[in-house]
Structure 1
Amino acid sequence: MLIPTIPTTDELLDKGFRRAKKAAGLVRTSKIPRYKKSKRIEETRVITAGQVIKDRIKLILDRVPDIESLPEFYQDYIDVAVGVDPMKQALGGLNWSMGIITQLEKDYASRIRRSPPEKAAQLRKQAFGRVSSVVNKIGDDLNFLDFAKQKLRNMPTVDFDATTVVIAGFPNVGKSTLLRKLTTAEPKVADYPFTTKGIQIGHLERKWKKIQIIDTPGLLDRPIKDMNNIELRAMVALEHLADVILFIFDASESCGYPLESQFNLLKEVEKVFKTPVICLFNKMDLTDNIKYLEQYINKVENPLMISASQGTGVSEIIERLEEFGER
């Protein structure tokens, strides 16, 4: 999400007041009659300061997209990363400040026009004080939006027209190796809440169809019972995205997890994701106990036997993915 640079309250006020002083200088050198000039100068300062501050706030509001209009995946991502409600409250605070500043502009410009010339500067100072108070009240909102900007600046760019494949399995089963073998270019890394290395997104184009493949280190690689509520929400966000899951077993168990534990993880992933699952038994080149392995192969539907490091079985995976892309 491209949130613009968020100013501090001091930066916002400084810009408004500096521009107001500059605008007043132009009035000062104009040919307005002297008896009108002092009031016009102060009125100009009030209106210009308010307008400059509002324009800067409006830029933020215009650049931040309406959260409810975003795809569900992005809504969930924002909620997990920074919170949708705090985001809405911060934007609401900025919107409130624009209304108050507009009213202050009108009120004090009118009072300055009706006042004796000698009171114009005093009224302008009052106006600046009131505007400063309003801006300072949205200080927490500005700070939150700056925090959100940092958290969301590397949000994944997702192609919602492509068939989306999410890779799951315990650490060291060969997920990253398979991702590199399947995709046509080096996968891009994007931030994702509660992942150790961010998610990796690779792309594949076959038969005029686009397929994006996502690996999530640190998320779909451990039992659900070990996750807290926010981590679960981060995982559920992927459920809005996935068209199919590639679940990778390490047939050799060299990853450090026995096949029984790997099978239990598969069952947990299937509880969260209501999408089809393709099971892959990787590292078949390192496996010699076929009888032991067969009891797990027989527990899943239509598994594929592969060796990601050697590229064995990759073409069969792509063919299977193309079938999902045609549905």
Structure 2
Amino acid sequence: MIFENLPTTPRSEELIDKAFSRAARTGRAKSGHDAQTSMLQTASNILSDNLENVVTAWPDFDEVDPFYYELADALVDVDELRQSLSEVTWASRKTAEIRQEYEGKIRRNDLETARKFRKQAFARLADVVEEVEDDLLRIGAARDELKILPDIDPDEPAIVVAGYPNVGKSSFVNAVTRARHETATYPFTTKGIGVGHFERQHIRYQIVDTPGLLDRPPQERNDIEAQAVSALTHLADCVLFVLDASANCGYPIEAQLELLAAVEDQFDDVPVITVCNKSDVSRDVEADYYMSVTEDENLDTVLDAAVEAVGYEPELPFDG
């Protein structure tokens, strides 16, 4: 996942203490003008490099997959984050400029004046880093939010499972994946997204269960949840909508069909397959397929239909 390995973002005070303490040690190893120049170079390089590293650790949001872009924007406001990254880039360049400006002044003057210029340079370096303190805090907070986003590969074909709670979505996902699907709770869900995997003809498919997002009407979702659903529209290659005609799930079939219509509207660019689960209890609804997870009936048929709807063909290596 693109945000998982983002390093901890240092605070302004940490950077300044690190740079000046290292500079002091460097200065003690030399004397005269060399000591003053080395102190300036050490402090400036540490600040410039560390600030630059904060920025380069982040992916280019212009190249981030729309799925992850929308999830990130739902949580942290990508425009504000990019502005803060831009400010830190400015600070990195400014610290390097200050070093260049004062190196000549230190060399051209007597030692006492050189010390004054070095101290003046240190004060300006500190001012620059303190100026981006709020930006570093914003970047650090964004990193903490985004590193726990779901580990989903936008380049792998994905089947999204939708439907009201208790219709059998999670049971279906568990039954058709190699092992019990991986579940984690993310900031935009109440119960945690489940991600499972299975293979067909050496192609790995992701199957995504989305409690807290696609198990209730759009008007009941908050802004973050709504944007997370929007992100899923970029991810999904097919949607399986699970119905419970028996209404044992606690929701009348009319309400389930209304949610189906909303999902079809939201995912208008991908095939939506309707599946009536618990068909051993009731088949009293029109659906593309009928299955019973508890009776192990037609699960492979439904999964094969989803794979066919996805129609994924891996890119073959070019044979020149």
The question of a shared fold, defined as TM-score above 0.5 by the shorter chain, is answered with: yes
Question: 2:164 matched to which residue of 1?
Answer: 170
Q: CA deviation at 1:192?
A: 3.9
- Secondary structure of 1:257's aligned partner: coil
Q: Which letter does structure 2 place at the counterpart of 1:18?
A: S
Question: 1:255 matched to which residue of 2?
Answer: 249
Q: How far apart, in 2, do the equivalents of 1:191 and 1:126 lie?
A: 50
Task: Report if the CA contact (8 A) 1:38-1:120 is conserved.
Answer: no
Task: Report if the CA contact (8 A) 1:163-1:324 is conserved.
Answer: no
Question: Is the aligned partner of 1:5 residue 2:5?
Answer: no
- Secondary structure of 2:207's aligned partner: strand
Q: How far apart, in 1, do the equivalents of 2:184 and 2:131 lie?
A: 34
Question: 1:278 matched to which residue of 2?
Answer: 273
Q: CA deviation at 1:235?
A: 0.7
Q: Larger % of helix: which?
A: 1
- Secondary structure of 1:247's aligned partner: strand
- Secondary structure of 1:324's aligned partner: helix
TM-score by length of 2: 0.91
Q: How far apart, in 1, do the equivalents of 2:82 and 2:133 lie?
A: 15
Question: 2:116 matched to which residue of 1?
Answer: 122
Question: 1:90 matched to which residue of 2?
Answer: 84
Work out which of the residue numbers 39, 56, 65 in structure 1 matches 2:59. Answer: 65
Range moving further from structure 2, 117-126 or 62-71: 117-126
Question: Is the aligned partner of 1:20 residue 2:14?
Answer: no
Q: CA deviation at 1:11?
A: 0.9
Question: 1:34 matched to which residue of 2?
Answer: none
Question: Is the aligned partner of 1:317 residue 2:311?
Answer: no
Task: Report if the CA contact (8 A) 2:189-2:225 is conserved.
Answer: no
Task: Report if the CA contact (8 A) 2:48-2:95 is conserved.
Answer: yes
Range moving further from structure 2, 37-46 or 66-75: 37-46
Superposed CA deviations along residues 89-109 of structure 1, whole A, max 9, x for unmatched, are 111011010121111111122
Q: How far apart, in 2, do the equivalents of 1:155 and 1:229 lie?
A: 17
Q: How far apart, in 2, do the equivalents of 1:130 and 1:77 lie?
A: 38
Q: CA deviation at 1:324?
A: 2.4
Q: How far apart, in 2, do the equivalents of 1:234 and 1:204 lie?
A: 24
Question: 2:230 matched to which residue of 1?
Answer: 236
Question: 1:212 matched to which residue of 2?
Answer: 206
- Secondary structure of 2:140's aligned partner: helix
Superposed CA deviations along residues 176-208 of structure 1, whole A, max 9, x for unmatched, are 111101111232234544211331111010222
Question: 2:240 matched to which residue of 1?
Answer: 246
Q: How many residues align?
A: 308
Which runs of 5 or more structure 1 residues have no equivalent in the other structure? 28-36
Q: How far apart, in 2, do the equivalents of 1:40 and 1:309 lie?
A: 79
Q: CA deviation at 1:80?
A: 0.8
Q: CA deviation at 1:66?
A: 0.4
Question: Is the aligned partner of 1:307 residue 2:307?
Answer: no
Q: How far apart, in 1, do the equivalents of 2:72 and 2:259 lie?
A: 27
Cα RMSD (Å) of the superposition? 1.6
- Secondary structure of 2:129's aligned partner: helix
Question: 2:152 matched to which residue of 1?
Answer: 158
Superposed CA deviations along residues 67-122 of structure 1, whole A, max 9, x for unmatched, are 11111111111111211101101110110101211111111222111222112222
Q: How far apart, in 1, do the equivalents of 2:290 and 2:248 lie?
A: 16
Q: CA deviation at 1:276?
A: 0.6
Q: Which letter does structure 2 place at the counterpart of 1:209?
A: I
Question: Is the aligned partner of 1:45 residue 2:30?
Answer: no
- Secondary structure of 1:184's aligned partner: coil
Q: CA deviation at 1:18?
A: 1.5
Q: How far apart, in 1, do the equivalents of 2:55 and 2:192 lie?
A: 28
Mapping of 1:68-147 within 5 angstroms?
A: 68-147=62-141
Q: Which letter does structure 2 place at the counterpart of 1:309?
A: T
Q: CA deviation at 1:159?
A: 2.7
Superposed CA deviations along residues 137-194 of structure 1, whole A, max 9, x for unmatched, are 1111111111111111122232334321001111121111111011112322345442
Q: How far apart, in 2, do the equivalents of 1:191 and 1:112 lie?
A: 56
Question: 1:32 matched to which residue of 2?
Answer: none
